[in-house]
Structure 1
């Protein structure tokens, strides 16, 4: 389980997690990477696809299907990386709650096996997610200012 608080309203955080035009502004991956493909069909049964290009021609892709969408508080979707370094399909659940204009995002990921989970925990996943959330935080701060 990963928990992160953002100084932004829940609707804005939900949009930043689901709308391609907003994802393209912050969901780049590690420094030196770019989001080359960003497709989101935001409906139950709708697919999504992300592809990042990194240094020296490295490419990383992932995609899946939306299982549940309760705007703006919950998203459940499957996820599989092209390189399948997570050992099969995972199911991620994002729950957003708002209090006093701040949004808490709790993300839970269920892996295909204990070995897959342990492998993900042993990777740089935690640092990567934290770096991504830092970029989201910066984007939200700018978006909130622009909204007045």
Structure 2
């Protein structure tokens, strides 16, 4: 079973996430960048996701809304760099905390034998902003997203 490692070292303004997948790098990258696939896995179970905008190219943007019985939660960002099957650099902003933008970098490593490691790093403007994201339940949502992505990749 693949495990998600989430690290938020005390006193640092970043969060690191590492996850391995039993799928080729191209398929994992496509799941991360295809607006038809992203809603199938991104976010915790029990939430729906509506994609408003999603153009995974340098200079493109995204906006999506997660919803459940308690409300709606909108997120947006800009893709700064997208290198096919290798790298995504984007901003990430929860619209409920405007002006608290983080910079995310995801690398996609081919491990051979049809396996891929994704390494993500989210850099926040302050340790306090990072801690607020951790306190919001981000870890739970990230773990469930990675489990759901495993399920999508297996289909």
TM-score range, shorter chain: 0.7 to 0.9
Q: TM-score, normalised by structure 1?
A: 0.88
Q: Which residue of 1 aligns with 2:105?
A: 93
Q: Which residue of 2 aligns with 1:14?
A: 29
Q: Which residue of 1 aligns with 2:118?
A: 105
The CA distance in 2 between the partners of 1:39 and 1:69, in whole Å, is 16
Q: Which has the higher helix share?
A: 1
Which of 13, 24, 34 is the equivalent residue of 2:39?
24
> Post-superposition shift, 1:21?
1.0
Which of 107, 130, 133 is the equivalent residue of 2:146?
133
Displaced runs of 4 or more, over 3 A: none
The CA distance in 2 between the partners of 1:38 and 1:140, in whole Å, is 23
Q: Which residue of 1 aligns with 2:67?
A: 53
Q: Which has the higher strand share?
A: 2
CA RMSD, aligned part only? 1.5
Alignment coverage as a number of residue pairs? 139
Q: TM-score, normalised by structure 2?
A: 0.84
The CA distance in 2 between the partners of 1:127 and 1:46, in whole Å, is 28
The DSSP-based 3-state class of the residue aligned with 1:126 is helix
- Where does structure 2 lack aligned partners over 5 or more consecutive residues? 1-15
Which of 73, 77, 81 is the equivalent residue of 2:90?
77
| 1:47-100: CA deviation from partner (whole Å, max 9, x where unpaired) | 1111111114x0001011011111111000011111018x60100000000112
